[in-house]
Amino acid sequence: MSTGTRNGAQAPEPHAADTHDLIRVHGARENNLKDVSIEIPKRRLTVFTGVSGSGKSSLVFDTVAAESQRLINETYSAFVQGFMPSVARPDVDVLDGLTTAIIVDQRRLGADPRSTVGTATDANAMLRILFSRLGRPHIGSAKAFSFNVASISGAGAVTVERGGRTVKERRSFTITGGMCPRCEGRGSISDIDLAQLYDDTKSLAEGAITVPGYTGDGWMTRVFSGSGFLDPDKPIRDYSERELRDFLHREPTKVKIGGINVSYEGLIPKVQKSILSKDREAMQPHIRAFVDRAVTFASCPECDGTRLTEAARSSKIGGVGIADACRMQISDLAAWVRGLDEPSVAPLLAALRQTLDSFVEIGLGYLSLERPAGTLSGGEAQRVKMIRHLGSSLTDVTYVFDEPSTGLHPHDIQRMNGLLRQLRDKGNTVLVVEHKPEVIAIADHVVDLGPGAGSAGGTICYEGALEGLRSAGTVTGRHLDDRASVKKAVRTPTGKLAVRGARAHNLRDVDVDIPLGVLVAVTGVAGSGKSSLVHGSIPAGEGVVSVDQSQIRGSRRSNPATYTGLLEPIRKAFAKANGVKPALFSANSEGACPTCNGAGVVYTDLAMMAGVATACEDCEGRRFDASVLEYRFGGRDISEVLAMPVTEAEAFFAAGEARTPAAHRILTRLVDVGLGYVSLGQPLTTLSGGERQRLKLATHMGDKGGIYVLDEPTTGLHLADVEQLLALLDRLVDSGKSVIVVEHHQAVMAHADWIIDLGPGAGHDGGRVVFEGTPAELVAARSTLTGRHLAEYVGA
């Protein structure tokens, strides 16, 4: 149909449906946002920038994406909503023009031992069907190849109504699963050191059980003592064989203790259920230390760590079993699948090829499908989630990304940019929270928040095209074209850490000398072996302080004061000044407001609707009982101290009546890492990713150690904050410490005294040291991918 118009004829009015091309946000006040109003273009790539803590995530995730998800949830019946997470409406006046939001964030994938890269992306499900159809010998359905399905069988009588009569028939059933019976699909077995569970020279009454939580007079120990199976006054080494079996291995049995019916079971199954079944990283430090002492993990000898039964391993396609396929590097597995030509399963092979090619395309071809999901970094987890959406036929969807360049080498960022453009060009709205100039450069529209962080942020400083940002005079605009120059003079090492024959993961007998007393950057593409070299060759022990990318764990009751240990000296100072107990000055202990139990808010559960949180009327959100607030120290009560920003608190505890050296030391470290604007009592759940990373770094700076190992400390940091981080690293080195940084940021590479570059590629194409020397030598040589990108960055 011709789109031309006759001379003098008016162009047709646009259809009303085509006028909704903006997402309108008016009066957003989530977290630190200050009545933000903005219009975001649809079907475009919009990048949100600003210093860490300026309100980017509050606007994109907590306002736009959260409301989209809430509205979608409301389309389901009330019954279904009862099973879904309830999301409260964001604090915003108007949200208009929203589309379905798909959030691709950096939250780690589940740490369950049976969760792998293959199960998280459905690649394993397709492989299982493939082997159930083509595998020889044929052993059963797809369940027979699943390490999450156990083989079970049973028989018995069933009652059937037939022809008006009740007939009893004998029935039997069998389910053939692929789960290894020895390790139950985990791939590893745990061996418990009994000497760490109890002291056999003592009796139960004398406190023989040494497991955390089993105190001499505690309820757990009372169950053992009063069960009737054991003599509480008899040393454990004098137990008979039957008593020892009852003590350690007895199945759950009902017993009555003090008139109360309780379940008694042996110590080993009890410890396995209450402690060993939990994620190690989620444990409290003293329980984690106990697990490390008491339990040793080894690869399952029956399945050789494959998690599968012997039958599942025996069925093969062209000499390759499903365990072999899952162990292959994904780029090799993709090539193997492409070589299969079987018309009967052609659609399945096409879908599997597409999934595996997506891994390679997104820069994760170096992973294997058997890799536990919990071991992926935040950036890897985010890209694994992206794989689900790359082949999607959905359009007019809003994709929301949280720093997709995290953990990516400059070489890989170009590939990531192509994928973001690909999603946009299919007709989707792409919203990206990002700090890297390479990603900001591809934006159709830029929104810059600030001007500062925390209470100093929360406003729109600039919105529009990228070119306008450069001349806008904002913090981001001023730093966008910053380029660190290569150090002309580097420090002289004071010693060396010799690494010989490193073979962890993909490392190939690496021999390297890591200089000490200087700033060392370990570089290379994602998957080249950097973390394997650093964490595998530098044991985290005495003298080594390791700051990795694991998430800070904490509830809404946790805050910077509790996490860093700052609250302890403050409580003691208040207690000493007022002659009362320190426990009064904790909102999680005796000083808590009785109405809200120290939470500061009262939560009202509205079943399938989002719960409502209202400020506590009695304490007015201050969390403490009124009587506690009468006690003062330096003229302030405890709630006023916790409301202070770090910089104000540092000055408060530095001198005068409130001088507290222990508190001042911790506050100085918080200022050093650039968290001076955060208030002491701000819940950890409201901190941004970059703020949490720096909070963790501040706590570890107090550890006694000569070697600091940092894993991508620039994660979540704005360009302006990177300068402050480099100054901090310089101070650490100048104070006599050795700092080893695994990093992709070119500014850190250029600032280093020594670079160890791994590669040349990822997975089995990496694992070798391809360059050792100063940044200037790397730029001059341009012999590696890192060298070429660093030379381009510094303009050499």
Distance CA 505, CA 527 (A): 10
Q: Is the pLDDT of residue 754 over 70?
A: yes
pLDDT digits (tens, 9 = 90+) for 263-322: 888 888 888 877 776 666 566 777 778 888 888 878 899 999 999 999 999 999 999 999
pLDDT digits (tens, 9 = 90+) for 442-461: 999 999 998 988 888 999 99
Q: Is the pLDDT of residue 528 over 50?
A: yes
Which of the given ranges, 153-157, 170-174, 384-388, 432-436, has the highest pLDDT on average? Answer: 432-436
Exposure string over 87-118, b if 16+ CB within 10 A, otherwise e: beebebeebeebbebbbbbbebbeeebbebbb
Q: Is the pLDDT of residue 519 over 90?
A: yes
Distance CA 625, CA 550 (A): 35
Q: Is the pLDDT of residue 796 over 70?
A: no
DSSP β-bridge partners for residue 40: 23
Distance CA 351, CA 126 (A): 8
> Which has the closest alpha carbon to 248: 232, 265, 234?
265
Distance CA 556, CA 589 (A): 15
**Residue for token digits 């650093």?**
534
pLDDT of residue 279: 62
Provide the mean pLDDT of the chain: 87
pLDDT of residue 610: 58
Which of the given ranges, 203-207, 330-334, 370-374, has the highest pLDDT on average? Answer: 330-334
pLDDT of residue 3: 46
User: Residue 77: helix, strand or coil by DSSP?
Assistant: coil
Q: Is the pLDDT of residue 369 over 60?
A: yes
Residue 698: its H or E element: helix 689-700
Q: Is the pLDDT of residue 70 over 70?
A: yes
Q: pLDDT tier at 717 (50, 70, 90 boundaries)?
A: confident
pLDDT of residue 1: 42
Do the beta carbons of residue 680 and residue 642 sit within 8 Å? Answer: yes
Please calculate the CA angle 107-110-116 and round it to the nearest 5 degrees: 115
**Residue for token digits 């259920």?**
273
Distance CA 187, CA 191 (A): 14
Which of the given ranges, 50-59, 189-198, 224-233, 609-618, has the highest pLDDT on average? Answer: 50-59
Q: pLDDT tier at 94 (50, 70, 90 boundaries)?
A: very high
Please calculate the CA angle 3-4-7 and round it to the nearest 5 degrees: 155
Distance CA 718, CA 334 (A): 37
